[in-house]
Amino acid sequence: MSRELAHVSWMDNRREHAGGTPRADRCNDQWVPLCDFPFEVLDGFAQEEPPLYPVEKFADALREIAMWLLNDGRFQERGVTDRAMVFAFMIAPAATGCTTQAQLAEKMKLSRSQVNEYVKQFSRRFSFVSNATYSQRQRECCKSRRKSK
């Protein structure tokens, strides 16, 4: 056993009086002290598990979506189908086979303004914006704004 290995094993087993092993780790062949970092200060990063939502909240969210699909009880068959298609486009655009609202309008045999109105209603009611609702120009504009901040 080399002297260096003996030194490392001694460092791994060292104890502070009653406090136990000091919080340290090796970095570039040196021991450096470790400390807790308040990850909560970083946007979108926390050590805690994301909160779990009770079934009641999930059921309420589904009920709200169902009410939107049925136009709050004032529904007609065509409107329900149209809203269901827009909902699918907003949540999973690949499932509809459309990448733009214009393609969706063509597939649904509606005018672009009708589809745009459905998308606007959905976005306002649920405060949700799908990436598929942006044009390439809008995506590039958003990226450049984020980089400049």
pLDDT tens digits for 71-81? 888 888 888 99
- Residue owning tokens 């009410």: 67
What average pLDDT does the segment 57-85 reach? 90
Cβ–Cβ under 8 Å, residues 105 and 95: no
Query: Which amino acid is it at 18?
Result: A
For residue 137, how many C-alpha atoms fall within 13 Å in the half-sphere facing its CB? 0
CA 45 to chain centre: 12
Least confident window among 8-22, 69-83, 91-105: 8-22
Least confident window among 56-60, 86-90, 139-143: 139-143
- Residue 48 confidence class, pLDDT cut points 50, 70, 90: low
pTM: 0.56
What average pLDDT does the segment 125-137 reach? 75
pLDDT at site 142: 58
